[in-house]
């Protein structure tokens, strides 16, 4: 999901949130929503669909206020329905609260039973709404916004980057491991106004300047008087999702002071060094495989070109919920350049293989276009484990590398050779401390313990 928040009384906060969400559209295409506050009054609009389908000028004009939060949804828990669209708005002793969540809680069973005791009416089925109710529960018991939020956050386990709006100001929160990203930007100077977004591309689009990340286990409170920081969790240990780096976040977003485009290009260089091959042409699966393909070409000396053209007006196929839809989606999306490919030995680069469905169809279409050889290189290791922290990598039995060796996968995909980047290579290429990432979908080594019952729902 994508989350956004802004405190800027003299600006059109609904419109700025709209554009922020527009830039974060790649993080979720199922539903979109904005809630604005004007004093204690809340205005909100949310619906199924893309940001550009859910909002128009007229709707945005009906969302006045000084501060706002917004959300683009990609469902990992709860079904794909309008009631699950965010921000979640709940009532508290101190007024309404609107919350936008990216990530996934792993202790929802326990949290739900704590909330039901207080007779909270859990309308929707999402973990995100539970966080909002948990804060309401603490506030209703007498806490102020900050102490209430902190007590509630301590009851949550899993991945959560949150933007929360209240009549008094907005909060930005990251879980103790900072699994999902969240950045702070500034807008204007006198006085400084603050913006929160999942990624820096959500700041760029409104001309906000990147200030810093919200830290793991940090809560920032943005009000009329500026920004205050609270370290709400003392044993925070950074475990940023490596999948954000290799695939999920936009290539023009900054992480560790460089664009992900640069990181992904280095992954390609690393792959060329780890698994060289003789070929005539290298290309990436658009768009996610392109930066790594450029890097692969630079190091290998193999000519870079385009081999597949993407229809950029269809969404990411993996967002669609059923396998049947996924399979029919692929031909609509990528078309081979037949005359470019004919008779060539090609290297096709992608960021990951999850189910193998996309890859198998792509290889088939390259064969149909008359390639001489197909060598596939993947800029991450085999995905062997499901994600419980908010990326929809499906149940373990759906993951092709969970049960098959690289040789077996190569055979199934009908490629002449297949190589994945090593786990060490992927992490070293970040130039960061290799322990500061979650890479559980490649290892099964989950940084936040997952209750047995939840584990069983996804593991073979």
Instruction: By CB under 6 A, name the binding residues for ligand 5GP.
Output: 247, 285, 288, 318, 350-359, 391-393
338 binds, among ligand 5GP, ligand SF4, Mg ion, none (CB under 5 to 8 A by kind): none
CB of 12 or CB of 392, closer to ligand SF4:
392
415-447 CB burial, b ≥16 within 10 A, e <16 = bbebbbbebebbbebbebeeebbbbbbbeeebb
Strand partners, 31: 48, 73
> In angstroms, what is the minimal distance from the CB of 205 to ligand SF4?
25
Of 44, 128, 288, 396, the one binding Mg ion by CB under 5 A: 288
Residue 213 near which of ligand SF4, Mg ion, ligand 5GP, none (CB within 5-8 Å, type-dependent): none
- 196: which 2 tokens? 């929160």
Residue-wise burial string across 193-207, b where 16 or more C-beta atoms lie within 10 A, e elsewhere: bbbbbbbbbbbbbbe
Cα–Cα distances in angstroms (integers) from residue 12 to residues 8, 194, 230, 449, in the given order: 8, 14, 28, 42
Query: Least distance in Å: CB of 313 to ligand SF4?
Result: 27
Judge whether 49 and 32 are in contact, CB under 8 Å: yes
Q: Which of 75, 288 has the CB closer to Mg ion? A: 288
Check binding of 379 to Mg ion (CB under 5 A).
no
Max alpha carbon distance in the chain (Å)? Answer: 73
Q: Which is nearer to ligand SF4, 267 or 346 (CB)?
A: 267
Rounded to the nearest whole angstrom, what is the least distance from the CB of residue 382 to ligand 5GP in the complex? 11
> If contact means CB under 5 to 8 A according to the sort of partner, which of Mg ion, ligand SF4, ligand 5GP, none does residue 359 touch?
ligand 5GP
Least separation in angstroms between CB 204 and ligand 5GP: 23
What's the CA angle centered on 381, arms 372 and 365, to 5 degrees? 30
Catalytic choice (1, 156, 201, 441): 1
Provide, rounded to whole angstroms, the least separation between the CB of residue 325 and ligand 5GP. Answer: 12
The residue (of 204 and 351) whose beta carbon lies closer to ligand 5GP is 351
Residue appearing with tokens 């800027």: 8
* Complex with ligand SF4: residue 185 or 381, whichever CB lies closer: 381
The number of C-alpha atoms within 13 Å of 139 and in the hemisphere containing its C-beta is 20
Measured between its terminal Cα atoms, the distance across the chain in Å is: 26
CA–CA separation, 3 vs 166, rounded Å? Answer: 16
Residues within the interface to ligand SF4 (CB under 6 A): 179, 241-243, 387, 389, 391, 393, 438-441
Question: How are strands ordered across the β-sheet holding 67-73?
Answer: 41-48, 31-38, 67-73, 2-7, 193-197, 183-187, 209-213
The length of the chain, given as a count of residues: 460
CB of 286 to Mg ion, least distance (A): 8
241 is catalytic: no
Q: Which does 345 bind (CB under 5 to 8 A by kind): ligand SF4, Mg ion, ligand 5GP, none?
A: none
Partner whose footprint covers residue 240, from Mg ion, ligand SF4, ligand 5GP, none (CB < 5 to 8 Å by kind): none
Nearer residue to ligand SF4 within complex by CB, 347 or 387: 387
Catalytic residues: 1
């Amino acid at each position: 999901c994508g989350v956004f928040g802004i405190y800027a009384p003299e600006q059109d906060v609904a419109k700025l949130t709209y554009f922020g969400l527009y830039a974060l559209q790649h993080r979720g295409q199922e539903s979109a929503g904005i809630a604005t506050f004007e004093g204690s009054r809340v205005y909100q609009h949310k619906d199924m669909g893309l940001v550009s389908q859910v909002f128009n000028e007229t709707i945005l004009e009906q969302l006045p206020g000084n501060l706002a939060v917004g959300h683009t949804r990609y469902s990992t828990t709860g079904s794909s329905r309008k009631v699950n669209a965010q921000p979640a708005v709940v009532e508290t002793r101190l007024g309404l609260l609107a919350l936008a969540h990216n990530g996934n809680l792993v202790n929802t069973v326990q949290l739900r039973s704590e909330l039901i005791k207080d007779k909270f009416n859990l309308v929707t089925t999402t973990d995100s709404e539970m966080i909002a109710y948990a804060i309401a529960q603490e506030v209703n018991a007498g806490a102020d916004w900050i102490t209430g939020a902190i007590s509630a956050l301590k009851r949550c386990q899993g991945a959560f980057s949150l933007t929360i709006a209240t009549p008094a100001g907005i909060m930005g929160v990251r879980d103790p491991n900072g699994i999902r990203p969240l950045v702070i930007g500034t807008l204007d100077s006198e006085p400084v106004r603050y913006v929160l977004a999942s990624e820096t591309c959500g700041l760029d689009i409104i001309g906000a300047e990147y200030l810093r990340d919200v830290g793991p286990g940090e809560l920032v409170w943005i009000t009329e008087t500026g920004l205050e920081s609270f370290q709400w969790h003392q044993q925070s240990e950074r475990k940023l999702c490596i999948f954000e780096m290799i695939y999920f976040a936009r290539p023009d977003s900054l992480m560790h002071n460089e664009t992900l485009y640069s990181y992904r290009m280095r992954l390609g260089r690393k792959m060329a060094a780890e698994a060289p091959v003789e070929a005539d042409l290298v290309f990436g699966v658009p768009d996610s495989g392109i930066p790594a393909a450029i890097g692969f070409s630079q190091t290998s000396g193999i000519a870079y070109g385009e081999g597949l053209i993407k229809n950029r007006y269809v969404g990411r196929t993996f967002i669609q919920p059923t396998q049947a839809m996924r399979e029919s989606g692929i031909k609509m999306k990528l078309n081979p350049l037949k005359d470019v490919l004919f008779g060539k030995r090609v290297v096709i680069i992608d960021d990951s293989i999850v189910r193998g469905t996309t890859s198998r169809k792509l290889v088939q279409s390259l064969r149909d276009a008359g390639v001489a050889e197909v060598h596939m290189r993947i800029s991450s290791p085999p995905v062997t484990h499901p994600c419980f922290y908010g990326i929809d990598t499906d149940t373990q039995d759906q993951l092709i590398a969970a049960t098959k060796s690289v040789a077996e996968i190569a055979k199934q995909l009908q490629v002449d050779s297949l190589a994945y980047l090593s786990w060490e290579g992927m992490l070293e290429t970040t130039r960061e401390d290799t322990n500061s990432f979650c890479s559980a979908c490649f290892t099964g080594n989950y940084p936040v313990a997952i209750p047995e019952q939840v584990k069983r729902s996804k593991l073979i």
